[in-house]
């Protein structure tokens, strides 16, 4: 049992009367001959790492190796706890959790790349915020991870999830598409709604460049993870409301890839353009590496 | 196209911050360690390209040394590997590679290892992105393997009959070969046969391959 495109995935869901999560789990057990218990065990392990990484920095922030970030998630939590949130509970939590994971990542803590380390906050941010707000079981959240995995697999196979190849739209954009589909499924959406949510999420972040200050996975990566989470929630909500996307997921994945490939080198993780190329970005880079760079 | 597993998408589980510069670095060093025949006393790393420019901010140095000490990509001890190595009396040094290595992949590290009994092994690893790695040089010879399968590496003299001996032993021990390649420095000199298999390669295979006088050394990466 194998699928290579979103259309094939949707066809399998229909033929087998299964949600995307179940089809993805079946693919893993059949294609890789891995027993279901083993797949389940590995996914539970990933979920437990995610849970730890969204929470730890809310209590005790750890500065990043490069020193560009640290403490942002705790600030968001304090703001939220004071009843000052303007985003409401789900979005506030998704945003703070996504930022927390990037803090853990940047301080050499343990995270789950999903699909990459630089975009590792989006999927746990969205799913764990939904779990708390809607009292969802771990079983439901695990299903969300399988669905996120299905979308990420298609993007990895048919487009790219590497910032150096296709910009941030391929990292945070992909993570946002994964989280959107996962959110749609666990909140009761059909497989078609999941793929619409994923397509919408990709299209909203189309063209987003990868421009890390000093070449480090810190800023603007951390902020963009919370934006990726917010985008995922908005897109899932639209899909659940029955709003269809004009551009199907497979076509949007191709569009994302082509846009990514046409980005200049300066905007693909080279730390030369975008935020990294601004005077402030450059001066932070020089402080960290203690040298003047020729630009 | 290689199949992509769910756990390459939701994964790897890793110490941050970068799958290529941290997790990949740990993986290649772990692979290098598994090839080393003894206990490592000293290791000299030479970093190239992006590794050389950004290794401090990405913890590439800690990840490489952690891998040499046997830490997996999600082992938090990677954070403190420099201190842990000193405690354990492992000497280490980081060097920046010169520009003379023209078309080298931007995320490359050389690992020159020395054992407590004088053993030496030079391994060059490349981090391909997303935590994937491959080994591209062993001592003086260009090779190409990733440790994704059980991998048998036979060091031999480039003379007739050695490959036949290896395949005969593998066949008699019931090991199915997934991939097999031969790499050599020059005609008649040292060469490596690299055999990759889906299943575990039994120890008896190693003993029997060693019986051939043209075989000088065997390394095994077991899945």
Domain match, B132 and B165 both: no
Q: Which domain holds residue B157?
A: 150-221
CA A48/CA B80 separation, integer angstroms: 23
**Where residue B29 sits, what CATH number does that domain have?**
3.30.1330.90
Domain match, B164 and B121 both: no
Phi, psi of B29, rounded to the nearest 5 degrees:
-75, -35
The predicted structure's pLDDT at residue B100:
64
Domain match, B118 and B160 both: no
Domain match, B35 and B83 both: yes
Residue A260: other Cβ atoms inside 10 A: 26
Crossing angle for the helix pair A36-59 and A138-158, to the nearest 10 degrees = 100
The predicted structure's pLDDT at residue A40:
98
Q: Could A157 and B130 be called an inter-chain contact, meaning their C-beta atoms sit closer than 8 Å? A: no
| Cα B177 → chain centroid | 20
Domain match, B133 and B160 both: no
The predicted structure's pLDDT at residue B2:
72
Minimal Cα–Cα distance from A77 to chain B, Å? 23
A111 CB neighbours in chain B (<8 A) are: 13-14, 16
Q: Is residue B159 part of a domain?
A: yes
Mean pLDDT of chain A: 96
Domain count, chain B: 2
Pair of tokens at residue A114: 């999903």
Q: Is residue B23 part of a domain?
A: yes
Residue B96 in contact with partner chain A when CB distance is under 8 A? no
The predicted structure's pLDDT at residue A294:
44
Domain match, B45 and B118 both: yes
Among B6, B25, B62, which would you mutate to test the A interface (most chain A Cβ atoms within 10 Å of its Cβ)?
B6
Domain match, B113 and B74 both: yes
Q: Is residue B1 part of a domain?
A: no
Domain match, B88 and B27 both: yes
Question: What does R_g of chain B's alpha carbons equal in angstroms?
Answer: 18
Mean pLDDT across A42-66: 96
Residue A169 three-state SS: helix
Mean pLDDT across A250-275: 95
Residue A215 DSSP one-character state:
G
Domain match, B82 and B159 both: no
CA B216/CA A107 separation, integer angstroms: 44
Residue A47 in contact with partner chain B when CB distance is under 8 A? no
Per-residue pLDDT of chain B (223 residues; tens, 9 = 90+): 578 999 999 999 999 999 999 999 999 999 999 999 999 999 999 999 889 988 888 999 999 999 999 999 999 999 999 999 999 999 999 999 986 666 788 889 999 999 999 999 999 999 988 888 999 999 989 999 999 889 999 999 999 999 999 999 999 999 999 999 999 988 989 999 999 998 889 989 999 999 999 999 999 998 7
Tens of pLDDT, residue by residue over A116-163, are: 999 999 999 999 999 999 999 999 999 999 999 999 999 999 999 999
The reply to whether ipTM tops 0.85 is: yes
- pTM assigned to the model: 0.91
Mean pLDDT of chain B: 93
Domain match, B48 and B110 both: yes
Q: Which domains does chain A have, with CATH numbers?
A: 6-289 (1.10.4100)
Pair of tokens at residue B1: 């196209």
Residue A211 in contact with partner chain B when CB distance is under 8 A? no
Q: Please say whether the beta carbons of A94 and A85 come within 8 A.
A: no
Interface of A with B in 84-123 (CB under 8 A): 104-118, 120, 123
Cα dihedral A136, A24, A165, A51, rounded to 10, equals 30
Residue A154 in contact with partner chain B when CB distance is under 8 A? no
Minimal Cα–Cα distance from A79 to chain B, Å? 27
Domain match, B30 and B89 both: yes
Residue B194 in contact with partner chain A when CB distance is under 8 A? no
């Amino acid at each position: 049992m194998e699928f290579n495109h979103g259309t094939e995935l949707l066809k399998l869901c229909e033929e087998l009367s299964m949600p995307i999560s179940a089809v993805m789990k079946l693919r893993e057990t059949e294609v890789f001959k891995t027993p279901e218990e083993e797949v389940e065990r590995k996914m539970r392990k990933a979920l437990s790492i995610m849970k730890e990484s969204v929470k730890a920095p809310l209590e005790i922030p750890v500065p990043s190796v490069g020193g560009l970030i640290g403490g942002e998630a705790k600030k968001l939590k304090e703001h939220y706890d004071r009843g000052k949130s303007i985003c409401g509970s789900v979005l506030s939590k998704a945003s703070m959790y996504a930022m927390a994971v990037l803090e853990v990542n940047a301080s050499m803590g343990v995270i789950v790349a999903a699909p990459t380390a630089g975009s590792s906050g989006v999927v746990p941010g969205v799913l764990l915020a939904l779990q708390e707000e809607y009292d969802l079981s771990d079983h439901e959240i695990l299903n969300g991870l399988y669905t996120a995995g299905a979308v990420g697999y298609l993007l990895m196979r048919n487009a790219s999830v590497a910032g150096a190849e296709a910009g941030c739209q391929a990292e945070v954009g992909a993570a946002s598409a994964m989280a959107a589909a996962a959110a749609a499924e666990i909140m009761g959406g059909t497989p078609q709604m999941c793929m619409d949510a994923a397509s919408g999420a990709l299209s909203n972040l189309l063209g987003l460049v990868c421009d890390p200050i000093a070449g480090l996975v810190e800023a603007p990566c951390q902020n963009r993870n919370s934006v990726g989470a917010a985008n995922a929630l908005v897109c899932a909500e639209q899909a659940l409301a029955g709003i269809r996307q004009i551009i199907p997921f497979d076509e949007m994945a191709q569009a994302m890839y082509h846009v990514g490939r046409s980005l200049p080198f300066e905007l693909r993780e080279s730390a030369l353009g975008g935020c990294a190329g601004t005077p402030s970005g450059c001066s932070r880079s020089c402080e960290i590496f203690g040298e003047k760079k020729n630009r | 196209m290689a199949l992509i597993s769910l756990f390459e998408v939701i994964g790897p589980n890793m110490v941050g911050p970068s799958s290529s510069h941290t997790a990949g670095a740990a993986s290649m060093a772990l692979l290098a360690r598994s090839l080393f025949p003894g206990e490592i006393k000293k290791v000299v790393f030479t970093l190239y390209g992006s590794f050389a420019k950004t290794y401090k901010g990405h913890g590439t140095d800690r990840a490489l040394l952690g891998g040499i000490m046997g830490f997996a990509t999600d082992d938090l001890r990677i954070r403190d590997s420099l201190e842990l190595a000193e405690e354990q009396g492992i000497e280490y040094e980081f060097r920046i590679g010169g520009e003379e290595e023209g078309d080298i992949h931007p995320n490359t590290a050389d690992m020159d290892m020395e054992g407590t009994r004088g053993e030496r092994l030079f391994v060059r690893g490349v981090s391909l992105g997303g935590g994937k790695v491959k080994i591209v040089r062993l001592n003086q010879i260009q090779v190409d393997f990733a440790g994704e399968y059980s991998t048998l590496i036979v060091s031999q003299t480039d003379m007739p009959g050695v490959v036949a001996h290896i395949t005969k032993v593998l066949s008699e021990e019931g090991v199915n070969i997934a991939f097999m390649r031969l790499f050599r420095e020059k005609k008649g000199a040292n060469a490596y046969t690299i055999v990759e298999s889906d299943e575990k390669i039994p120890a008896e295979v190693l003993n029997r391959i060693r019986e051939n006088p043209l075989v000088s050394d065997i390394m095994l990466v077991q899945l």
